[in-house]
Structure 1
């Protein structure tokens, strides 16, 4: 899986979680929205061929696994 695919998968999974309306607390919802924004920005950076750090990719991988 390429870095871009990893980020896109993370974003897709987060959006699915957001759509399910899992009765999240306000704090959890804010964290989820923040993660969606962060991953969305990383996808845009990859599409613009900007550098994305290994830490950002690790975050995306963790988010993918957390959403499974």
Structure 2
């Protein structure tokens, strides 16, 4: 389960023709989180992940 709280996008610091997209979710099923992150990374580069509940941050190398 879980739900999307908000989706924001910005072209300000993105390369020409691209945009940065920020997705906030709530109540995500923790067991499915690795699968969700893998699916998102298959579609577009993921720059970072922040988990406020567990105070966890992951920063990825932009490729």
State if a TM-score over 0.5 links the two structures: no
Q: Which has the higher contact order (CA 8 A, sep 6+)?
A: 1
Structure that is richer in strand per residue: 2
TM-score, normalised on structure 1?
0.27
**Greater C-alpha radius of gyration:** 2
Structure that is richer in helix per residue: 1
TM-score, normalised on structure 2?
0.29
